[in-house]
Copies of this chain bind each other. A is one copy, B any other.
């Protein structure tokens, strides 16, 4: 999906909601557990229920890999279903990959190649190994790198805030700055956690036009209002993710309806924010 198509989808749905599919067999409703396709059945129900309110879906690869090869078969079914929808949605492989060049090429093929099993629009990448670990993900037309800058977890404070000697720039700012040469706002986004919304001003100083994928609203405590205040651009420039707050709103038979309710609440707040720019 191109940048213009993504912006058009956000305009049409008046939403920049991404639903995180962190599907965990220990947390999904009991009545699904007897089925071989329990993970896919859960995902399909969540997708059907939230589709009016969401522009993007983000399977978290760890939750599929932890169920072994069967889990990845469920991921493939989920992706096939997302590709079959009558309206396009933006898909994110939350994979946090990154390795030396020849290996990153293989990860890009695994998740972004249109001829592969998954054919995601984008994937999350860790920056620690630098340029040659990132650029192989930018070669597919209409596909995106989403580079970790400032993450939403406590451990973000261990290294991401280290200030570079004599530069008054922290590691996450160096990542934002240096990676500008590796892509452009049409094929590179950044992860910036909602739990650090006050940092979004600094982030926008370096990447004024790039889309940001913002996790941490909801279960992790981030505020949508704050994220929009400091991070929204004239073209929106945000995809805000909620995982647990939507998909585990209920673990009863009403789980899909409750997920829709939570997604709708967020979409309505997002529509209010979008009215400020459009």
Query: Which residues of A come within 8 Å of B, CB atoms?
Result: 22, 24, 60, 62-63, 65-66, 68-69, 72-73, 76, 94, 96-104, 106-107, 109-111, 116-118, 126-134, 148, 151-160, 162-166, 171, 174-175, 178
Contact = CB atoms under 8 A, between A and B. Distances in A.
A73 B176 CA distance: 37
A130 B156 contact: yes
Copies of this chain held together in the complex: 2
Contact of A96 (B99, B151, B165, B175): B99
A69 B73 contact: yes
Nearest 9 interchain pairs by C-beta: A130-B155, A130-B158, A68-B117, A62-B106, A65-B110, A66-B106, A163-B165, A100-B153, A66-B109
A147 B39 CA distance: 31
B153 A175 contact: no
A62 B158 contact: no
A127 B68 contact: no
B100 A152 contact: yes
A65 B69 CA distance: 11
A113 to B, nearest CB: 8
A153 B130 contact: yes
A227 B100 CA distance: 20
Among A63, A98, A100, A111: residue with most chain B CB under 10 A = A100
Given A107-B65, A162-B164, A164-B163, A131 B155 contact: yes
Nearest to A70: B117
A43 to B, nearest CB: 16
Nearest to A124: B99
A94 B65 CA distance: 14
A137 B69 CA distance: 20
Among A103, A118, A156, A171: residue with most chain B CB under 10 A = A103
